[in-house]
A = this chain, B = another copy of it.
């Protein structure tokens, strides 16, 4: 009735799934899950992920009944109201007790796989036969929509490959989606598919009349030691609502007449809306006492661990704070002008492998491009079912799941620092999880190589053009495009520091032309800075602004212009957002308003550059698809040569 009352009161929300899955929620929060509502962040709690995020009312009601402070009756009464703790989809940053932000279907399944991976990894690294610190289960509810989404399939395939047996996926098989019966578009045998992937599958025929069958299923899942478990629970969407079993129950309020009938059918009488029967509160009190006890017991284990394994406990404690060893930044490599040049993905390789030594939580991998992305932690093994301590994750060609899984790892909250690597073009396959990293404060580091038409022969299907523009527009995300070794190190510095914000580092396939004299690792945190200027005390006549592999073009062009007697400044705009956040005076110092002759050079879409070059400036960018050919010829075709940049600058100077 809390579900119904909340929806009727809000005149919004998705009651259907919440009603159909009420028993599942009850069993999970009352009987199955191990957690402490007094400390929702207890690290060894069981995790619950609602992949069918629109059913969040189920979760809000469960959290309320289970005694979480975060969801009071007045919060249920403010469902979907601006600023409430009960928004239309669950957000981990708004409501304590919510693990991840879900809503876009299928994401939660991948998040749950990431959480289960984190548990398996940490258990393998830190548990001792006589001191088990990490030992929790991960439960995830998915609906028909999640079952259809490709990301859920990708993640499920990996979960079985990794034998994440502590993961239980509960499939709300209610035969309805928004548009009608699932038969409109869905005729596969979902359980058989999961079996083909390597899952343990169980069907619960009638949970509405037989709670025990579901409890038994959970028990079987608990005892499974190899495969993750998929429990298909046949439910009646919008049970008792008068719209039960139809897609009409999916979202929106109910007919008041139907609500009246519902009250009659369950003998609810004329209790006020939002009434909770005291017996239920009393029953859940047991669970609350239990939660506190469980966490206490866990702490005793941790203390025992501390005395028995003092050599490991420091690292463990470091992880459980935020994973950042004091002074970790200092280990990042530095480059001199005389060092041999490399692609920025090569510099990234070195940074990543240095970081792996000082950051015990650094873990991640690539979507089958580890060698091309140069995103492999040497000497740290592969995370596989027989080596879960390994720190290199082999995602296969599954970019979308890689993003969702990385979010799960980050939001496990155990100090792990996930990185996820692919070609920049394939950020397209994982755009939504990147966005969700930003929304849910997951500090994932995205390593995106082959970051422009400069990738050459693979051609326009593989050459990013508009990706940077789209990614830079994602709120909160930091997008870096470093120009050389020191800027790459600087980007990692900021990315690692920002544990509640994702970063994306765009890196070149091709060698950059130099380690530049003026680039400074420390300046990357400002987003933009002057790398060279021959103007002395005066204002420059022109400013060339570049990023990544094109910054060097700016610098070389500046030299030519200076030879011609011009006062030229070169600015690296390595991260727009960080630059935008600088104080006005700093920005004015780097890009003085009185210098209106500006040229930006970036081998990507011009969209957004006008902000920095102003109306009179020139944007050298790519506003069409790339071309297959050797990199230098492709660059030439699109105007990314010293000659062209110089010519454009000279024309502007003569205006």
Q: Which residues from 369 to 401 on chain A have a C-beta closer than 8 Å to any C-beta of chain B?
A: 369-372, 382, 384, 394-398, 400-401
A469 touches B607 (CB 8 A): yes
Q: Which residues from 581 to 638 on chain A have a C-beta closer than 8 Å to any C-beta of chain B?
A: 593, 605, 607-608, 610-611, 614-615, 623-625, 627-630, 633-634, 637
Q: A195 at interface (Cβ–Cβ under 8 A)?
A: yes
B178 touches A368 (CB 8 A): yes
A580 and chain B: residue at smallest CB distance: B623
* CA gap between A190 and B102 in the complex, in Å: 29
Q: Which residues from 156 to 197 on chain A have a C-beta closer than 8 Å to any C-beta of chain B?
A: 157-158, 160-161, 177-179, 182, 184-190, 192-193, 195-197
A104 touches B461 (CB 8 A): yes
* CA gap between A435 and B467 in the complex, in Å: 10
A427 and chain B: residue at smallest CB distance: B431
A439 and chain B: residue at smallest CB distance: B625
B154 touches A104 (CB 8 A): no
* CA gap between A384 and B187 in the complex, in Å: 12
How many residues belonging to A are interface residues under a CB distance threshold of 8 Å?
Answer: 111
Contacts of A398 in B (CB 8 A): 148-150, 185
Contacts of A177 in B (CB 8 A): 368, 396-397
Contacts of A426 in B (CB 8 A): 104, 432
* CA gap between A193 and B185 in the complex, in Å: 18
B459 touches A371 (CB 8 A): no
* CA gap between A341 and B368 in the complex, in Å: 51
B179 touches A366 (CB 8 A): yes
Contacts of A12 in B (CB 8 A): 456-457
A461 touches B439 (CB 8 A): yes
Q: A460 at interface (Cβ–Cβ under 8 A)?
A: yes
A119 CB to closest chain B CB (Å) equals 20
Q: A428 at interface (Cβ–Cβ under 8 A)?
A: yes
Q: A474 at interface (Cβ–Cβ under 8 A)?
A: yes
Known contacts A13-B457, A157-B186, A628-B88; A82 and B633 CB within 8 A of each other: yes
Known contacts A82-B634, A89-B462, A178-B371; A188 and B198 CB within 8 A of each other: yes
Contacts of A614 in B (CB 8 A): 615
Q: Which residues from 447 to 483 on chain A have a C-beta closer than 8 Å to any C-beta of chain B?
A: 456-462, 465-466, 469-476
Q: Which residues from 547 to 599 on chain A have a C-beta closer than 8 Å to any C-beta of chain B?
A: 593
Q: A333 at interface (Cβ–Cβ under 8 A)?
A: no
A396 touches B476 (CB 8 A): no
Q: A145 at interface (Cβ–Cβ under 8 A)?
A: yes
User: 1/0 per residue A521-547: CB within 8 Å of B?
Assistant: 000000000000000000000000000
Q: List 28 contacting pairs A-B, 8 Å CB cutoff, sorted by A.
A: A80-B628, A81-B629, A82-B628, A83-B629, A84-B629, A88-B458, A103-B461, A148-B398, A149-B398, A149-B429, A150-B151, A157-B188, A161-B186, A177-B368, A177-B397, A178-B368, A179-B370, A184-B394, A185-B368, A185-B395, A188-B196, A188-B197, A435-B466, A438-B625, A439-B461, A469-B473, A475-B623, A614-B615
Interface residues of A (CB under 8 A from B): 10, 12-13, 53-54, 80-84, 87-89, 91, 101-106, 144-146, 148-154, 157-158, 160-161, 177-179, 182, 184-190, 192-193, 195-198, 366, 368-372, 382, 384, 394-398, 400-401, 425-426, 428-429, 431-432, 435-436, 438-439, 456-462, 465-466, 469-476, 593, 605, 607-608, 610-611, 614-615, 623-625, 627-630, 633-634, 637
